[in-house]
Amino acid sequence: MHYSCARSVSGLLLSLLVAAAAEFTATGLCLAVPAMAWATVITFDDLPEGTTVTNQYAEAMFSSSAGNVNSALFVAGSAYSQPYIICSGPANAEANCIEDTYIDFTLPVNNLTFWAILVDTTGVVAQFNIYENGALAASEPLNKESGQPLDLLVDLSAYTNVTRLEIVNIVDNPAENGIGWDSFTFEPVPEPGSIGLLGLGLLSLACWRRVSANR
Per-residue pLDDT tens for 44-64? Answer: 999 999 999 999 999 999 999
Predicted confidence at residue 183, as pLDDT, reads 97
- How many CB atoms neighbour CB 202 within 10 A? 19
SS3 107: strand
129-167 b/e with 16+ CB inside 10 Å = b? bbbeeeeebeeeebebeeeeeebbebebeebeebbbbbb
CA distances from 184 to 73, 123, 165, 187, 211 (A): 15, 23, 11, 10, 47
Predicted confidence at residue 151, as pLDDT, reads 96
Q: The domain 40-188: what is its CATH number?
A: 2.60.120.200
| pLDDT tops 80 at residue 36 | no
Whole-angstrom distance, CA of residue 151 vs CA of residue 167: 16
**Choice between 66 and 26, residue whose per-residue pLDDT is larger:** 66
Predicted confidence at residue 139, as pLDDT, reads 98
DSSP 33: -
On the 0-12 / 13-18 / 19+ scale of CB atoms within 10 A, 9 is: exposed
SS3 204: helix
Per-residue pLDDT tens for 14-26? Answer: 444 444 444 433 4
DSSP 153: E
32-46, 108-122, 182-196: lowest mean pLDDT where?
32-46
CA 25 to chain centre: 35
SS3 207: helix
Predicted confidence at residue 173, as pLDDT, reads 84
